[in-house]
Structure 1
């Protein structure tokens, strides 16, 4: 997996580059210090995944995420930050980030979460998830109990296979139910479903 690190702290960049390059399936292509440089880097060399800080000079991580996802929607973005307030989490996910981890995350766990994100899961640190915990049940108006249960597991970052295992269903059944949920809520995909969940939770 080809990774770009975007952070204005040289020590963070150096540590991440050294540790992630030790993973057999990771290659850190480069390191840049702000969002504008990240956009320019993507113009020249398109990474598969970006580890993106939020607070940076010139162009912050949320604004650069919007630009990158608009221009290169296939590039996956994992926010890696010290901020775990609801506002930054919501803005980052709305901008198009598929993951949100804290810098306190161990490198082993970070590597696992990067792989999970690459496989299609929405990834949130447990502390981040707790910040956004338990929306108003009005969000799920019109959904069955089983559909609501599947939504909650999707939001926790579980894959269809993991949901199927946990609920003793076939993977095909989970896919079908998820398709019904998206139709009912008029949403396009899993990421939009997660954003819908958190937006309604914070603005019931």
Structure 2
């Protein structure tokens, strides 16, 4: 997996690079100090995943993520920040970020979290979940079947469709179709919002 690291702090960039370079399946293809530099790197070689700081000069991580998802929608973006304010969390998810972690998160898990994104899962720091999106009160888990509730639980754990299929002895197609039904029932946009919904009701 090719990874781009975007952070205005050179020490953070280098420490993340040193960490990820230890993993055989992860390759840091470039480092960027702001969103504008990140876009230039993407034009040269599109990464599979991006570790993206939120607050940066020239172009912040939210604007950069928005542009990246418009141009390269298949790229996974995991936001990194020291801020837990609801506004930035909302904005990051709304523009297409697939994950959100605090910089104080356990660095040893960074590689695992990137793999989770790449396999279709979502990465959400549980310490910030209570800051996240509020959903309509009429949307209840009780409206779901037992099988649908099992799949919601798996999504909440960050499992990919394949991992859910293996765990529940289903085909990936069945999981994918059932997820579509669940999102429609709960009036949610994607699996990231579904994971947030699940944890807010725990």
TM-score bucket (shorter structure): 0.7 to 0.9
Contact 2:90 2:133 in 1 (8 A): no
Tell me, what secondary structure is at the counterpart of 1:181? Answer: helix
Residues 133 and 149 of structure 1, relative CA distance in 2, 3 Å threshold = farther
**Deviations 1:93-130, CA, capped at 9 Å, x for gaps:** 11111011111122321111111111100111221234
RMSD: 2.9
**Stretch moving more, 150-159 or 51-60:** 150-159
Please say if 1:64 is aligned against 2:82.
no
Which has the larger displacement, 68-77 or 149-158?
Answer: 149-158
Taking the aligned partners of 1:115 and 1:35, their CA distance within structure 2 comes to 23
Q: CA, structure 1 residues 41+133, in 2 after alignment: closer, same or farther (shift >3 Å)?
A: closer
CA distance 1:85–1:165, change in 2 (3 Å)? farther
Q: Deviations over 1:49-89 (max 9, x none)?
A: 11000000011101110000000111110111112222211
SS class of match (1:138) = coil
Paired residue for 1:93?
93
Is 1:13 equivalent to 2:1 in the alignment? no
Q: Which runs of 5+ in 2 are unaligned?
A: none
State the shift of 1:20 in Å. Answer: 1.0
Match in the other structure for 2:28: 28
The CA distance in 1 between the partners of 2:62 and 2:133, in whole Å, is 22
Q: Any gaps of 5 or more consecutive residues in structure 1?
A: none
Does the residue aligned with 1:78 lie in a helix, a strand or coil? strand
The reply on whether 1:108 has 2:108 as its aligned counterpart is yes
